[in-house]
Chains A and B, each alone.
Chain A
C-alpha cells in the first residue's frame, strides 16, 4: 500500500447532485457526509387548522402515536415484506430469504449474487427490492436484463412481488418511470456520431437500486455495455450471475470494479497479487481472493440448499407420417410461398417473413392451414394467382376428414393413460384454430378437457386451473394462455406443434419443470415426417431443451451466444437461423437437415463453453 500524502487526504470532493435538490431542502456537509433535511410542507396547514378551530378527538392522536411506534422499523432483522409476497410464492426456500437479508444488512445493498442456476436469484433479488420499497429506501429502481428475459422479469415482479415495472424502449420514457426495466442490449447502444449513449438519459437519474441480470456479460471493461453500466448513478447495485467469470480472472476483476472500485486493487496489483504469471485463469492466492470476494459476493450451491429436487426431462419424439393428401397440401403451400407469393401488383412478397409466419401454421393442423388460406383468399392485397392457388389447396385440405397428427395424439394420450392412469397432461399448440380442433376431437373421444387461451380474465383463468387440477385430465393451451402459471402437479407435456424459438419452448416446459415438481417430466413432441418440422423438433428438443441443463441455463447459453435478441425480421436470431436454413435449402429436406446440423454444432459449442465456464467458476468459488 502506498501511504497517503496530506495532499491526497485533503483532496476536495466535488458533489455533482446539487441540481437535483428539491426546493426547501437543506443540504450541508459534515466532513464528507452529506446531510439532507426535508421540512414537512404540511406544518403550516396544521397551524391553520388550529386557527380555524378544526379539531379531532385526542384519542386519534394517541392511536397515531402508537401506530408510529408499532410500525417503527429499526435494524433489518427480518424481511417485513415477506408475509406480503409469501402467498404468491409457490415455495418457501430459506436460502432466498437469508440471501436477501445478507445483501441488505451486511453488504449495504451492493453485491454480486452468484448462486448456481436454479436457486432462484430472481426471487432473492425481488425480495431485496420489495423490502427496500416497503421500508421506504427505494423509489427509483432499474432492472437490466437480457432481451429475452424482460417479459419474464416483468411477469415475476408483478405476480410474485406486486411490483409493476415499465419497459423502457424509447429514451423519452426514462423520466416518468420510477420502476423501470430494460433490455441491456437495447439501452447500451452508443451513437458514434454524437459520441453519446442513445439512452444517456438513464445516466442523469439517481437510482436507488439497480439490478443487472446475467451480469457476466459485463466482463469486458472496453465494451459499451460495461461503460453504460459504469456511468449509472446508483445507491445499491445487485449483479446477478452464476458464472462471474468465463475465460479469465480479469473478467471477475472488471465485474467487481462496477460494484466497488478498487476492491481488488488496481489491475497491476490484482495481477501481482492474484494471478499466477501468465495464467489468467489460475489464482495465485485462492484463499485470499475468496476472502476478498466474500466481502461483496453471495454464492450458494444447489447441493447445499434444502427444499429443491431437480427432476429429469425425458424427451419423446412422436413421428407423424402424413397422408398423401396432407403431404401434397404441405408441398403446394411451400411452393406457393417460395414461387407464387405475390402482392396485388404482382410483386413477390418477402419470403423469409412468410416462411416464418405461415409454415408453422401449415404443419400445425389442417384447420389452422385452412384458416390462414381462407384469410389470404379474402384479402384483396394478394395477387389473383396466389389466391387461386390458395383456393385449390383449401379444397384439397377440406377433403381431409381427420389429420393424421390428431390420430397420433389420441394414440399418445391412450399410451400415457395406460402407463399412468388419469395422469394430467398439459398440451400446447401455437395456434387457436388448432386448439379448437384438438379440443373438439378429444372431447368426442370422451377425454375430460379444459381449454386455456389468451384473453381470459383472471377469475376465468383461476376457475380453469382449478378445473384442470380437480376434474379434467388434459389442459389444452396456447402459450399466451398459460404464461407464468405453475402446473408442477402435472408431469406430461405434449407439444402438438413447436415454436421455433427455444426460449418459448423453455417457457412451456417451465410450467412443469419448477420447484415442487416431484416426478420426472415427459416431454412428448409430435413432428411430421418429411417436413422441416421433424428436424426443428429434433434440434430444439433433443439438442437444446432436454440435455440435462437446469431450468434457466439455456437462456444464459443463448444470451452468451448473442442468439436471444431479436433479429432484423423481428423474430429471435435463433429463429432467423432456422428460417435462413430453410431458404438456403430451397425446400430440399436433406440440405435443410445439413443446415440444421450446422446450427446444432454451433449450439453444442456454446453449451460446451458454458459447461467449461461453470467448471472454472466452481473451482475458484466453491
Chain B
C-alpha cells in the first residue's frame, strides 16, 4: 500500500467537522465528542505537518507518519468498521456474454436478475515486532464459496448494501480458509526477518558461550595448576633434609590444598553454567520475534446473478450467469 499524505488523510477523517486551513496550520473545530473523549483533548485542534512549524506554533499537534495524533486516530478506529456490507452494481456485458463458449451459436432472448450471489472479503493486519522495530502489512482475501478470487472489489461500482436483501450467513468456514492462506504469507515474511535476526542472535549467543567456555576453562586450568603445584611441592618435600625447608614446603602444600578445596567446593562449573543459561535466555528474549495477525474487517459483498433465456438449435434454454465470475452456471 502506498504511503498516504497525512494531510489528505486528516482532511478525510475530519471531513464532517469545521476545518480552517491557513498558513500550513489546519484548525479543526466541532469534532464529535466521542473522539474528543477518546483522545483526551477538546477541539479545536491546531494541526501542523512539519517539525519547524510545530516549533513555532504554540499548542499545535505535529502530524507526521507515525506521530502520536495519527496513532490516536488509528486506535480510535481500531474497534470501528469491523464489518461492512456492499452491493456490487454490476450488469452483464452482452457483447462479452455472447462470446462465451457455452453460448456459442445461441441467441440471447432475455436476460434478467434472478437472486444474488455472495463474496466475502477478509482484511488482516499483520504486525511483526522485534528488537526496536515494528513492521506491519495489510492483506486482503476475497473468497467465494471455498475459492479465493483474484479480484479487487474496488474495481466494481458499489453501494452500501441493504441487510434486508441478504440471508443470515456464517463465515466461519471461509475465515478458517483465509487464515490458512494468511499463515502461508506470514511465513514468507517471517522467513525474511528471521534470517537476519538469527544471524545477529547467533553472534550474541556465541559471545556468551565463548565467554563462559573460557571462564570454565580458566577455572579448570587454575585447578590443574593447583594440583601440579601440590605435586611439585610434595616431590620437593621428599628430597629435602633441612627442617626449615620441610616446614616451608608443608605450609605451602597445606595452603595449596586449601585453595584447591575452595575451588572445587564452590562447584564453579554448575554455577557458571546456570549463569550462562540465564544470559542466553535473556538474549533470546531480547531477540524474540512477536507476530500478531488481527482480522480488521469482513466485508460481505452481494451482487445479482442473471437468468438468461437463449435460443439454441430452435429450442429455448434457460441458464444462469454470474457477472463477477463471468461464468455461465
Contacts and interface: CB of A to CB of B under 8 A. Distances in A.
Interface stretch (A7-15, A118-126, A452-460, A605-613): A7-15
A2 B207 CA distance: 12
A65 B161 CA distance: 20
Interface string A450-482: 000000000000000000000000000000000
A71 B292 contact: no
Given A17-B285, A56-B81, A74-B133, A69 B1 contact: yes
B110 interface: no
Interface string B191-229: 000100110011001111111111101100000000000
B134 A73 contact: yes
B157 to A, nearest CB: 13
B313 to A, nearest CB: 45
A76 B134 CA distance: 9
Interface in A11-63: 11, 13-17, 30-40, 42-43, 46-47, 49-51, 53-58, 60-61, 63
A263 B285 contact: no
Interface in A342-360: none
B81 A265 contact: no
A4 interface: yes
A233 interface: yes
A22 to B, nearest CB: 11
Interface in B234-263: none
B68 A83 contact: yes
A55 B82 CA distance: 8
A29 to B, nearest CB: 9
B286 A58 contact: no
A593 B183 CA distance: 79
Contacts of A14: 277, 280-281
B132 A109 contact: yes
B133 A33 contact: no
Given A35-B289, A54-B83, 18 more contacts: A11-B209, A30-B194, A33-B198, A36-B289, A50-B120, A50-B300, A53-B168, A56-B84, A65-B1, A65-B296, A70-B9, A71-B71, A76-B133, A108-B132, A137-B132, A235-B285, A265-B214, A269-B214
B96 interface: no
B68 A266 contact: no
Contacts of B67: 80, 83
B80 A56 contact: yes
A86 B170 CA distance: 50
Given A67-B9, A68-B125, A58 B160 contact: yes
B171 A58 contact: no
Interface stretch (A128-136, A316-324, A396-404, A563-571): A128-136
A502 to B, nearest CB: 38
B190 interface: yes
B169 interface: yes
Nearest to A105: B132
A234 interface: yes
A160 to B, nearest CB: 15
Contacts of A37: 290-293
Nearest to A45: B82
A266 B218 contact: yes
Interface in B4-23: 4, 6, 9, 12-13
Given A11-B209, A76-B132, A34 B294 contact: no
Interface stretch (B31-39, B58-66, B98-106): B58-66
Interface residues of B, number: 94
Q: How many residues of A sit at the interface, in one of the four size bands?
A: 35 or more
B210 A55 contact: no
B70 interface: yes
A65 B138 CA distance: 8
Given A34-B289, A83-B67, A40 B294 contact: yes
Contact of B213 (A4, A54, A67, A92): A4
- Quick one: which of B135, B202, B205, B282 has the most chain A CB within 10 A? B282
Nearest to B72: A71
A46 B82 contact: yes
A167 to B, nearest CB: 25
Nearest to B215: A266
7 contacts: A33-B198, A40-B292, A47-B298, A55-B161, A56-B82, A68-B136, A69-B1
Nearest to A41: B294
Given A4-B210, A51-B170, A73-B134, A33 B81 contact: no
A67 B131 contact: no
Given A30-B194, A67-B9, A16 B281 contact: yes
B77 A67 contact: yes
B1 to A, nearest CB: 5
Given A33-B198, A234-B282, A38 B292 contact: yes
A66 B12 contact: yes
Interface string A134-157: 111100000000000000000000
B297 interface: yes
A70 B284 contact: no
A265 B210 CA distance: 9
A306 to B, nearest CB: 16
B268 interface: no
The residue in A30, A68, A260 that gathers the most chain B C-beta atoms within 10 A of its C-beta is: A68
Nearest to A233: B282
B293 A39 contact: yes
A49 B83 contact: yes
A262 interface: yes
A60 B81 contact: yes
A84 interface: yes
B288 A13 contact: no
Nearest to B287: A33
Nearest to B197: A33
A206 interface: yes
A51 B70 CA distance: 32
A222 interface: no
A35 B236 CA distance: 61
A261 interface: yes
B5 to A, nearest CB: 9
Contacts of B300: 50, 55
Contacts of B299: 58, 61
Q: Which of B13, B64, B298 has the most CB of A within 10 A?
A: B298
A619 interface: no
B295 A71 contact: no
Contact of B169 (A50, A71, A74, A263): A50
A104 interface: yes
A73 B67 CA distance: 9
Interface string B151-172: 0000000101101001011111
A194 interface: no
Interface in A189-234: 206, 231, 233-234
A92 B55 CA distance: 10
A132 B54 CA distance: 22
A259 to B, nearest CB: 11
Contact of A58 (B134, B158, B163, B215): B158
Interface in B295-321: 295-300
B73 interface: yes
Nearest to A43: B295
B85 interface: yes
A4 B322 CA distance: 66
A14 B123 CA distance: 38
B279 interface: yes
Contact of A72 (B120, B136, B171): B136
B117 interface: no
A39 B292 CA distance: 6
A11 B273 CA distance: 11
A58 B166 contact: no
A378 interface: no
Interface in A495-526: none
B86 interface: yes
B3 interface: yes
Contact of B288 (A34, A60, A74, A135): A34
B311 to A, nearest CB: 41
B129 interface: yes
